[in-house]
């Protein structure tokens, strides 16, 4: 499948490889036009972060952040913060890539921009994503775009091929507190010699399934590592409200890309076509009487 505005075509071999290994690394996939636009917008937020003395809802700053040396750790929902990020994730090349991997259409879940600042940008400990935002199936995947080239020193993302088909781990600590990371005794059992570090030039793309075990080392280089991440699921996969971050997402979450939203859901192998989503109607939903009498809201 030739994807507009990408430097590559995505054929069924790559899709099969993704399904088998649970990840892909696609070198220099994003065109320089898109990269220039994304970098320019990202730079605006780094500038904006200079005036912060503590993290805000939208911008997470790392310890040691100052106005002279800003350390923006994460933009929480870039698609809600700038039309360029919105276009990129919902109509642009990454949206099309998600559709190609998820059967022709996709449901957008969320996006974020992770920075790892030069000389010590934090590690991301081994974890899986699905516990952070559980869905009705395991289709969710995250597509990452390196806005700058990333090498070994810079804390590239590491994945364990095939681990997406294995155990789903407990990400609480031994005191029962949410840690967002695997426990040491589980990590000891991992085949860490099989880790693949996803490095690449600017515009390279990482894709990993939500059950993939992954993480990244601190950034020991003198260069920052901006990684723009966007998550999608299959069109008939839904985030489960009241669990994890699902209830705190931005306005674009749930947007269907390249497909009809027909309220299809599959649970335990049984398909159901659910009632419409009335959440946009100001809290009003018809009663069964109103629906059966075909009364308008």
Q: Between 129 and 236, name the residue whose CB sits nearer to ligand AKG.
A: 129
Count of residues touching ligand AKG (by CB under 6 A):
7
Verify binding: residue 227, ligand AKG, rule CB under 6 A: yes
Would you give the binding string for ligand AKG spanning residues 187-226, x where CB under 6 A is met? ---------------------------x-x----------
28 touching ligand AKG, by CB under 6 A = no
Closest separation in Å from C-beta 72 to ligand AKG: 13
What does the DSSP 8-state code read for residue 178? B
Find the binder of ligand AKG among 124, 130, 182, 249 (CB under 6 A).
124
Q: Nearest to residue 214, comparing CAs of 128, 123, 133, 151?
A: 128
Enumerate residues 6+ apart whose C-beta is below 8 A from 152.
Answer: 197, 199
Q: Quick check: 45 and 88 in contact, CB under 8 A? A: no
Contacts (CB under 6 A) with ligand AKG, residues 130-159 = 157
Residue 2 Cβ vs ligand AKG, minimum distance, rounded to whole Å: 29
User: Of the candidates 222, 249, 226, 254, which has an alpha carbon nearest to the alpha carbon of residue 30?
Assistant: 226
Decide: is 21 part of the binding site for ligand AKG (CB under 6 A).
no
CA 104 to each of CA 3, 92, 229, 234, 259: distance values in angstroms, whole numbers, following the listed order? 12, 15, 20, 9, 8
- Looking at the Cβ atoms of 198 and 236, the one nearer to ligand AKG is 198
Angstrom distance (rounded) from CA 149 to CA 170: 33
Query: Using CA atoms, how far apart are residues 233 and 239, in angstroms rounded to an integer?
Result: 9
107 counts as binding ligand AKG under rule CB under 6 A: no
Query: Judged by CB, which is closer to ligand AKG: 114, or 221?
Result: 114
Least Å distance between CB 101 and ligand AKG? 18
Shortest CB 145 distance to ligand AKG, Å: 12
Q: Is 61 helix (H, G, I), strand (E, B) or coil?
A: strand
Q: Which residue is nearest to ligand AKG (CB)?
A: 216
Work out how close the CB of 122 gets to ligand AKG at its nearest, in angstroms, rounded to a whole number.
9
Distance of alpha carbon 127 from alpha carbon 83, whole angstroms: 31
129 near ligand AKG (CB under 6 A): yes
List helix spans (H) across 50-171: 78-81, 83-90, 93-101
Report the distance separating Cα 135 and Cα 7, nearest Å.
31
Shortest distance (Å) from residue 17 CB to ligand AKG: 21
CB of 124 to ligand AKG, least distance (A): 4
CB closer to ligand AKG, 5 vs 220: 220
Question: CA–CA separation, 130 vs 209, rounded Å?
Answer: 9
Of these, 111, 114, 209, 231, which contacts ligand AKG (CB under 6 A)?
114
Nearer to ligand AKG, 1 or 192 (CB): 192
The minimum distance between CB 62 and ligand AKG, in angstroms, equals: 13
How far is it, in rounded angstroms, from Cα 47 to Cα 51? 8
Helix axes 83-90, 93-101, angle to 10 degrees: 30
Beta bridge partners of 113: 75, 228
Please give the residue ranges that form the binding site for ligand AKG (CB under 6 A).
114, 124, 129, 157, 214, 216, 227
């Amino acid at each position: 499948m030739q994807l507009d505005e990408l430097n590559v075509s995505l054929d069924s071999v790559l899709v099969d490889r993704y399904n088998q290994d649970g990840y892909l690394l696609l070198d220099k996939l994003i065109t320089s036009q898109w990269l220039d636009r994304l970098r320019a917008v990202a730079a605006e937020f780094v500038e904006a972060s200079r005036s912060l003395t503590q993290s805000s809802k939208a911008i997470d700053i790392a310890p040691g952040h100052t106005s002279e040396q800003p350390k923006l750790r994460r933009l929480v929902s870039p698609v809600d913060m700038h039309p360029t990020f919105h276009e990129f994730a919902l109509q642009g090349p990454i949206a099309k890539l998600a559709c190609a991997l998820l059967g022709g259409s996709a449901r957008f879940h969320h996006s974020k921009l992770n920075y790892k600042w030069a000389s010590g940008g934090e590690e991301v400990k081994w974890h899986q994503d699905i516990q952070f935002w559980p869905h009705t199936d395991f289709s969710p995947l995250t597509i990452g775009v390196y806005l700058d080239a990333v090498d070994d020193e810079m804390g590239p993302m590491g994945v364990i091929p095939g681990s997406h088909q294995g155990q789903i781990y407990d990400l609480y600590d031994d005191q029962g507190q949410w840690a967002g990371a695997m426990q040491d005794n589980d990590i000891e059992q991992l085949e860490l010699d099989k880790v693949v570090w996803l490095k690449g030039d600017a515009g390279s793309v990482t894709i990993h399934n939500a059950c993939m075990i992954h993480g990244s080392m601190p950034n020991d280089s003198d260069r920052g590592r901006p990684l723009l991440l966007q998550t999608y699921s299959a069109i008939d996969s839904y985030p489960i409200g009241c669990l994890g971050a699902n209830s705190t997402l931005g306005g674009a979450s749930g947007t269907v890309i390249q497909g009809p939203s027909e309220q299809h859901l599959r649970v335990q192998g049984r398909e159901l076509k659910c009632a419409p989503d009335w959440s946009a109607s100001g809290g009003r939903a018809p009663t069964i009487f109103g629906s059966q009498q075909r009364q308008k809201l």
